[in-house]
Amino acid sequence: MIHADGLTKHYGSLVAVDGLSFSVTAGETFAVIGPNGAGKTTTLKLLLGLARPTSGRIEIGPDARPPHDPRARVGLGYVPQRVEFPPARTAAEILAYFAALRGLPPEAVGGALARVGLADMATRRASELSGGYAQRLSLAQALLGDPALLVLDEPTASLDPEATWEFRTLVENLQREGKTILLCSHLLSEVERVADRVLILVRGRRAALESIRDLRERQMSATRLVIELGDGQDGGRGVLERAGFACQVLDSRRLVIDGAGERGVAALDLIRDAGIPVRSFELSRPTLEELFLSVVRGERLS
């Protein structure tokens, strides 16, 4: 559905995107994340045909056309981060304009509004719509003509938690319909919830491209057990090290061992069998944000 190969974009002496290659398959939800200035916006502009690459190529759709070809954009719907629709215009009138541009009949408007749960808001003016409803209207606009590829640029960045949840639910429904979705976001919780794969950009380059499943496995394998002992950590540490556990001392009472699940239970059993009182224990798992930051920092150091 999307194929980028050696994509490079220069703005004068600034290299915004540097030799970026990735592919997105049909039906996949693909997230692009990265710190500020990483090249997310430029990548998105190249994908939408708003900018042309300095070198390399990007193709979208089943016919593999470059996005600056209007024919390629027939199968593409775009939801910007925030768009201000004409305030005096009703939701139906706003969609009617975009439907006409796509050569669609007026009936397409009702269908698009219904898909985002705005069927009863057709006569509501844009100025009367809340942020969440306005963003749904933006999604309805993107769904006109039923494009196979949806590009969402930080769609929930300006929404409150409830509107965010409702919008994500809509996106999940579209995933189930088999839409290919490219999501640009800095909200890792959003990416974690909806994406299949994630591309991490740092300084315009691909720092990592991983599936969310692999990230979760890494997250699990990096899980640590923190044990607080009643009589200080020395006794417990000796017991565990003799049994082959690598221990890390946090302070006078607390120990940390790598791994969770059966390994953690076994460690706790050993300490208890040795008669050492355990005051408390907890699992410490790196968040997706920490994994993301470790990739970003690693790339920056390199």
Q: Under the rule (CB under 8 A), what is the footprint of other proteins?
A: 45, 48-52, 69-71, 73-74, 76, 78, 80-84, 86, 88-89, 97-98, 100-103, 141, 151
CB of 251 to other proteins, least distance (A): 51
Q: In the numeric block, which tokens belong to residue 204?
A: 């315009």
Q: Which residue, 13 or 252, has its beta carbon nearer to other proteins?
A: 13
Q: Which residue, 84 or 251, has its beta carbon nearer to other proteins?
A: 84
The strand pair at 14-24 and 76-79 is best described as unpaired
Cβ-proximal residues to 273 (8 Å cutoff; 6+ apart), any chain? none
Q: Which residue, 75 or 236, has its beta carbon nearer to other proteins?
A: 75
CB of 289 to other proteins, least distance (A): 27
CB of 233 to other proteins, least distance (A): 56
CB of 4 to other proteins, least distance (A): 17
CB of 158 to other proteins, least distance (A): 12
CB of 54 to other proteins, least distance (A): 10
Q: List beta partners, residue 283.
A: 225
Q: Which residue, 82 or 205, has its beta carbon nearer to other proteins?
A: 82
Q: Which residue, 52 or 279, has its beta carbon nearer to other proteins?
A: 52
Q: Which residue, 151 or 229, has its beta carbon nearer to other proteins?
A: 151
Q: In the numeric block, which tokens belong to residue 142?
A: 């993107």
